[in-house]
Structure 1
Amino acid sequence: MRNVLNQSHPFSKFIFALFIILSVFLLIFLVGIIVALPIFHIRLAELPQIISNIESPGNLSFLKYLQTLQSVGLFIIPSFIIAFLFSNNSFSYLKFTSKANGTSLILIVFIMFCSVPIINFFAMWNADMHLPGFLKDVELWMREKESSAQQITEAFLEMNSIQTLFFNIFMIGVLPAIGEELIFRGIFQRLFTEWTKNIHWGILIAAILFSGMHMQFYGFVPRLLLGILFGYLFYWSGSIWFPIAGHFVNNTTAVVFYYFYADKVAEQIDSFGASEGTYYYLVISLILLTALLWSFYKNETRGRMLKADK
């Protein structure tokens, strides 16, 4: 079975990858629900009510369990199954075998921090978008979905202990960083690059799917930009560790700030670079981000040349 689809057309691989992702997710989700029923002392008929009532601590714990199950079943496990079927070496296919340069990892941290004002600017712009009048019902549905997702996110970020902080770092920082990067950069970006014969199209299409997957329409543009950023980090380095690191820093920073500062600075962080008084931060961050990305590119290019000379 290993490497059985290696010679298939990229489109066929993509369709098969989607089939694997959905099949594995449904299986793991079903098993996970069956296992959870006695653990959380709930009945199957109560699931819709539990999911809609996030204010109860017991319900919130169950939702966090489902979120963890989703990251593992929808992204992490399917990515390794797909890599197994598409190659002779799953870890090599997913670019785990390329070592992460320490200097480049430090650059990743600064790259993610410097991107905050730019991402926030486009987030504010995206949130203010309105559809034409004849699509009023569609816009209403989209805003309801956005509001629902925001409520769940805020509920997840309510942390009253250090144990909750560490679990949230694991659930929001570690698992999505690994799983989503494996699927969207390790699998999809590779397939669409093979299909279009163009790395830039491969990066863009994978980033569009990455952003669309979150189903938060008024956060589509900033997630698209993050997806493009992660795509180029992956392309320049040839290692999945760098987009994983960037994704982890982005998500974990938000979790840690919410834990230590909650509402005191959360709104300021969200508007940093987007409000009128902080536009100059946007310009400064753009200059710094360009310089840091150039440094990352040169550092990784130099590292590859040194390896080739050995």
Structure 2
Amino acid sequence: MEFTAFRDLKPFSQLFFAAFVVVASILIFFVLSLVVAIPIWGFNTVLNLPAINSETPLNIINLYKFIQVVQAIGFFIVPPFILGYLFHGQSNEYLYLNKSFNSQSVILVVAMMFFAAPAINLIGELNSNMSFPEWLSGVEEWMRNAEQNAADITEAFLNVKTIGGLAFNVFMIALLPAVGEELLFRGVVQNIFSKMTRSHHWGIWISAILFSALHMQFYGFVPRVLLGALFGYLLVWSGSIWLPIIAHFMNNAIAVIAMYFINNGLMNPQYEEIGSTGDSYYMAGISLALTFVFLMMLKRQNAGKEIPI
């Protein structure tokens, strides 16, 4: 017998129920993570997890990575499938996982994300230089501290010396977020807001803002909103969530692999900042133009596959 009680919920009710399912899943996976972590790392270490710094031992960094993976599964992977089943009956169909895509679109997505990097770097640099009025100095200091803490954790995660370490980072930082965040934000949240507002544009931009806000990294807020919107339009125009997943994965994987090469002396650190420095602004302009061209080519390539409201 099929469970159909939630299929007639209005979008507003779906939104609150989705939030409940996400919170419940996070709590369940948090408990499961403790059950697994305590025998491995010890009770005191798990419950009094020290902050990451330059002298943090490898076993603590591995504990952080374990928590990161479990949180990603509990937050982003499991809830969309539960909600897809409850709201529609077929999770694959609700999340647009069953929609086909062609090889030409994949090539265009990969090329677009590769050439988009300088433009993303420039927008990120401009965003990071924003400042607040004096009366909001306390808020600004809190935001910069939160940003620095996130940067410290990311730097510790990315500082690996082996191919195995790189492969795990690609899985943890590129693949899991690409799949999970697209399923939740494009597959569920964007879907709900598009129906609520009866507009794909509103659904795309609201979910993109929420997507960026959730990361709690304020000085990368604008480029992450724009990336979220880009992924949203890829879903709407192609009818398949696989294209935004591939684009998201490429964006993250390029950064992970580049940092591996830089940390191991195989690449000049300046390449990480290409497009964001004065002598490479022109590359950011070319990057932005090419990104727009590739996006329009993708829209034309997938004409007729658009998702209806």
Same topology, TM > 0.5? yes
CA contact (8 A) 2:258 2:272 kept: no
Aligned to 2:239: 238
Report Cα offsets for 1:152-206 as digits up to 9, x if no partner.
0000001111111111111111111100000000000000000011110100000
CA distance in structure 2 between the aligned counterparts of 1:296 and 1:227, rounded to whole angstroms: 16
CA contact (8 A) 2:81 2:91 kept: yes
1:94 equivalent to 2:95? Answer yes
- The gaps in structure 2 that reach 5 residues or longer are none
CA distance in structure 2 between the aligned counterparts of 1:13 and 1:276, rounded to whole angstroms: 47
Bigger helix share = 1
CA distance in structure 1 between the aligned counterparts of 2:84 and 2:271, rounded to whole angstroms: 38
The alignment covers a number of residue pairs equal to: 302
CA distance in structure 2 between the aligned counterparts of 1:10 and 1:266, rounded to whole angstroms: 49
- Shift in Å, 1:263: 7.3
- Give runs of aligned pairs for residues 219-258 of structure 1, distance below 5 A: 219-258=220-259
CA distance in structure 1 between the aligned counterparts of 2:288 and 2:32, rounded to whole angstroms: 47
Aligned to 1:69: 70
- The gaps in structure 1 that reach 5 residues or longer are 306-310
State which of 269, 272, 276 in structure 1 corresponds to 2:271: 269
- Give runs of aligned pairs for residues 1-310 of structure 1, distance below 5 A: 2-40=3-41, 42-43=42-43, 45-47=44-46, 49-53=48-52, 55-262=56-263, 265=267, 267-301=269-303, 304=305
CA distance in structure 2 between the aligned counterparts of 1:252 and 1:184, rounded to whole angstroms: 19
- Shift in Å, 1:49: 3.9
Q: Residue 254 of structure 1 aligns to which amino acid in structure 2? A: A
CA contact (8 A) 1:122 1:221 kept: yes
Normalized against structure 1, the TM-score is what? 0.93
CA distance in structure 2 between the aligned counterparts of 1:120 and 1:145, rounded to whole angstroms: 20
- Shift in Å, 1:52: 1.2
Change (3 A) 1:80 1:15: same
Report Cα offsets for 1:197-244 as digits up to 9, x if no partner.
111010000000100010001110111111011001111101010110
Report Cα offsets for 1:230-273 as digits up to 9, x if no partner.
00111110101011000111111111111123275474234211
CA distance in structure 1 between the aligned counterparts of 2:213 and 2:47, rounded to whole angstroms: 24
Deviating above 6 A after TM superposition, structure 1's stretches of 4 or more consecutive aligned residues are none
- Shift in Å, 1:111: 0.8
